[in-house]
A = this chain, B = another copy of it.
Amino acid sequence: MQAVGLITEYNPLHNGHLYHLQRAKQLTGADCSIVVMSGNWLQRGEPALLDKWTRTQLALAAGVDLVVELPVFYATQPAHLFARGGVEILTALGCQSLVFGAEHPELDFAQLMTALPKTQAAFKHYNATYATQFNAALQQTTGVTLTKANDMLGFCYYLANQQFGNQLKLIPIQRQVADHHDDQIQAHQSFASGTAIRAAALQQAWSQISAVVPAATLTQLKTQRLQTWPDFWPYLQYQLMTASVTQTHDYDQMAEGLEYRMKETAQSATSFADLMTRAKSKRYTYTRLQRVATAALLQLTATEVQTAQQHNYVRVLGFNKTGQAYLHQVKKQLTLPLYTKITKDLRLHGLALDYRAGRVYELVNGHSQDLYRRPIMFPR
């Protein structure tokens, strides 16, 4: 059996994702499709609207054969680390290819990559200006600038693939949404951005949404609790109020001096949006601030995130018979640990950060995210 991999967030799963999955299967002729999906906390530093189990169920219903979780210490990171976590897992699972959506799939990503400094030293540590630095280098040598989020992410897949021995064939395809940040669902269109769909879901604009998502997604959006930042604001505010400056300084992705600004602003902020608006400056992007807020909420320190990144794993969230057979086929050769349930030892050690992230999500969501959960077998 041969497998094709996809790296996703499915927040929530929409028609663009269906297209991505179908094209991935068509283009590769793979026997098995594997999705590495973020858990409950996402790359832009926010909670997933639907929890990871609901999103796994939707993925399986859409035809994905195997769903594994991108651990929180990669899922909430800048593009190059997010990409690295996903590529490492797909490589460990023996995938032959990775199909990804890009704004400009016609770009010669492999060629662009050769233009970057060979040492990669500049990209080993993330910082606020990673994309900027990287684009400066690219601009200088090739004249190209990657301004679109998915082009950039695609490029990072190439970098990561190189790091893990180029085991994956990388296949860019055209995204079916003109602009990822397009924030309106357009009439008579069957595709819309995740941003537009989330906004519509929070306004319960079901008739608009029904045109751009599978029926199963619509049902889940209508019936499940939808988590957004305002739900977690009381905990975040409490945390920023009570944690010491030293603790706050140690949170993942915190910038020098930003700990004072975050703590001070949190004292009088009236909402999460208010905190973000007032903490915003030219030095920090909105996404960066949201990721810092996520780290503060989950009390993720830079040290523990970096340590955890050295110990990636394959956490199975769900599969169908094909996915199960594939897993059986590869499990003896897996180069990363395979976890299918959370034991006390894993909860305290190997899976500690995902467990913590899940417990905080659970404070609002109300459903156990790890304890007593087994991979979803589809169909049930």
Contact = CB atoms under 8 A, between A and B. Distances in A.
A267 B299 contact: no
A299 B243 contact: yes
A169 to B, nearest CB: 40
Contact of A234 (B239, B244, B363): B363
A242 interface: yes
Contact of A242 (B237, B267, B356): B356
Nearest to A362: B241
Contacts of A93: none
A22 interface: no
B363 A299 contact: no
A247 interface: yes
A341 interface: no
A238 B241 contact: no
Contacts of A280: none
A360 interface: yes
Contact of A237 (B241, B243, B363): B363
Contacts of A297: 242
Contacts of A243: 299
A241 B363 CA distance: 10
Contacts of A242: 239, 297-299, 356, 359-360
Contact of A359 (B244, B267, B301, B359): B267
A333 B118 CA distance: 71
Nearest to A297: B242
Contact of A241 (B247, B267, B301, B360): B360
Interface string A243-267: 1100100000000000000000001
Contacts of A356: 241-242
A235 interface: yes
B299 A359 contact: no
Interface in A350-373: 356, 359-360, 363
Contacts of A237: 363
A146 to B, nearest CB: 36
A301 B242 CA distance: 11
Given A235-B235, A238-B238, A299 B360 contact: no
A103 B98 CA distance: 78
Interface in A295-334: 297-299, 301
A301 B244 CA distance: 10
Interface string A209-244: 000000000000000000000000011011101111
Contact of A244 (B238, B267, B299, B363): B299
A277 B6 CA distance: 48
A363 to B, nearest CB: 6
A238 B247 CA distance: 16
A299 B240 CA distance: 11
Contacts of A241: 356, 359-360, 363
A231 to B, nearest CB: 12
By Cβ-Cβ distance, the 5 closest A-B pairs, closest first, are A242-B299, A241-B359, A235-B238, A242-B356, A238-B363
27 contacts: A234-B234, A234-B235, A234-B363, A235-B235, A235-B238, A237-B363, A238-B238, A238-B239, A238-B360, A238-B363, A239-B239, A239-B242, A241-B356, A241-B359, A241-B360, A241-B363, A242-B297, A242-B298, A242-B299, A242-B356, A242-B359, A242-B360, A243-B299, A244-B299, A244-B301, A247-B247, A267-B359
